Copies of this chain bind each other. A is one copy, B any other.
Amino acid sequence: MYTLLDKINSPNDLKKLNPDQLPQLAEEIRHKLLEVTSRHGGHIASNLGFVETSIALHYVFNSPEDQFVFDVSHQSYVHKLLTGRRDLFENIGSSGGISGFTSPSESEYDIFDIGHTATSISLASGLAKGRDLYERKYNVIAIIGDGSLSGGEAFEGLNFVATYNTNFIIIVNDNENSIDPNVGGLYSNLTKLRKSNGTNENNYFRALGFDYKYVEKGNNVLEMIAALKSAKDINHPIVIHIHTKKGKGYKYAEENPSAFHWAKPFDLTTGKGIPHKNVSVDNAVSYLTATLQFFDEELKNKNSVIVEPGAGIMSRYISPKFPKQYIDTGITEEHAVAFCSGIARNGGKPYLTIQSSFVQRAFDQIHQDLCLNNTPATLIVMSAGVNCFHDAHIGLFDIAMLSNIPNLVYMAPSDESECIKMLEFARDANFPTAIRQANFPSYAIRRKYEDISDIVVGKSEIIQQGEKIVLLGLGDYLYLAHQVADLFQELRGIKPTIVNPRFASHIDEELLLKLKGDNQIFVTFENGIIEGGFGQKIAGFLGKYGTKVLNFGAKKEFTDRIPLEEQKERYHLNPEQIIEDISKQLIDGKR
């Protein structure tokens, strides 16, 4: 069935094929992509559209000497298939399988670990500079999708590299789509370029000084080979703008490329998703549900808007219902934050929804445009906490980042009702706020909305009054504090005090001082790295009194698809481990 593909163990094997065999190879690869991604899920539509270019790249260039840098690198599946990872490809993206992104530890054909967007041109420009420092001769090729071009770093890279007096090839893979349809003026220019077969006189790339070539049939492998051959060993920067079809060759992906940008396992025949069997999320807290419930009410105020940098989950929920109040800014985290600050300055109420691993792309804008200006925009930080994703998408760093920015009030709700309460607090605040929403999955001892006390900045709440031990569980880890308390009582007969700190950014000094007198140890739990985080603020404050403080959370490290249970074990986040650690430090005498 994979007559040609099965023989390709390296790009050299590919080069042995005749050009007229390549369309068949493309079909085999497309089949393989669908067969594997339908089982495992993954980035589907972009890879389907990039089959022919990937073949052409390896047919024309000599990787790994010639270096490819894939933007985001979610479109590197075919590249992986062609570079000796065909067998490993069967489990791509899964724990234990190869990564769904390029990874130098996996293959010499992969130059960088990449998972964030708009970086490929800058990274590749450095490769080219390194090559030239050593006076070596080979090709450096940056591959970037049209969607990623809206990211500021991509522009910085383009602008910089345009003046290079050396070999540099940029492939702009224009499939007329970002994750969702593109946003911005640039895309009208790309449209004109496509419609004019690249001849439109106003040309974004030429304006920046690039040599430029347009390939209308980006899904024709022979045309792609001709185009790449013409650029090979070029002595200056060139943009090869190719037009491809996202989802090419699979009806459902072609019809709905957004849904197939990344998808869970699906039925090949119907295109419908298959429920995932391994992860039971019964009864898990859904901060999303709470947020949508809040938005349903809040967006009746027409001056409130939802802003997403690159269409995310809100495009599905908010956009159809409140089209005028949903704003996709394109893949532009920096712009999105400053934009929100401007809206807030003129009296609007912006809610910026963003994933934990991407919020750091706007650190300076949050710090300066938002917090220095103290404008009341609200960041909703989603997908936070320990997860089993790729390095670039773990949600562990936002607490250490956001809780150390002046003026920002960073809240972490423990359940849906408190989430709504905090959203209401953020709505009414006259300063910047952020709300942390953990996932993967989180649980809670749920409370009713009416039982939740009002939010006051820097004020924690005592959930259970106990003795000797104070457990402070931030956000979704309040549940962990509950679990530890229950087990402690069961095993040792001690009933710890449980505190809901509510804020990652502000500690309740008054309460800490009060509790300090009667308790021997304070234990903090946070679903993020310990260093720079919430628990260390508690340790720093209580340190001067010599009060014992134990911090639980994640280690400062990158993790790539490590199963949740393994990470929890590693970080001592299981109640049994926690109790053992606490017991070691607990003076068990009578007081």
Contact = CB atoms under 8 A, between A and B. Distances in A.
Interface of A: 69, 104, 111-116, 118-119, 122-131, 133-134, 150-163, 183-186, 188-189, 201-204, 206-210, 302-303, 305, 327, 329-330, 332, 334-335, 337-348, 350, 358, 360-361, 363-365, 367-369, 371-373, 391-392, 397, 400-401, 403-407, 529-533, 535-537, 539-540, 542-551, 556-558, 585
For A161, A207, A406, which residue has the most chain B Cβ atoms within 10 angstroms? A207
A365 B113 contact: no
A573 to B, nearest CB: 16
What are the 10 tightest A-B residue pairs by CB atom distance, in nearest-first order?
A126-B342, A152-B152, A162-B185, A130-B346, A543-B549, A156-B335, A122-B338, A185-B209, A404-B532, A159-B184
A129 to B, nearest CB: 5
A120 to B, nearest CB: 9
Contacts of A119: 338, 365, 368-369
B129 A330 contact: no
Given A125-B339, A133-B305, A365-B119, A188 B209 contact: yes
7 contacts: A112-B345, A122-B365, A123-B342, A161-B185, A358-B364, A400-B404, A539-B549
A550 to B, nearest CB: 5
B130 A347 contact: yes
Contacts of A131: 346
A548 B540 contact: no
Contact of A368 (B69, B392, B536): B392
A467 to B, nearest CB: 18
Contact of A548 (B154, B159, B543, B558): B543
B159 A186 contact: yes
A391 B368 CA distance: 9
A540 B545 contact: no
Contacts of A209: 185-186, 188-189
A406 to B, nearest CB: 5
A334 to B, nearest CB: 4
B548 A544 contact: yes
Contact of A183 (B160, B302, B341, B365): B160
A308 B339 CA distance: 28
A158 B134 contact: no
Contacts of A332: 156, 159-160
Contacts of A183: 159-160, 163
A533 B531 CA distance: 8
Contacts of A113: 368, 372-373
Contact of A531 (B158, B397, B404, B535): B404
Nearest to A348: B130
Contacts of A345: 111-112, 123, 126-127, 130
Contact of A343 (B129, B406, B557): B129
A94 B332 CA distance: 36
Contacts of A361: 363-364
Nearest to A335: B156
Contact of A406 (B115, B330, B557): B557
Nearest to A189: B207
A358 B208 CA distance: 26
A159 B330 contact: yes
Contacts of A535: 540
A119 B339 CA distance: 9
Contact of A341 (B123, B154, B358, B530): B123
Contacts of A127: 342-343, 345-346
A272 to B, nearest CB: 34
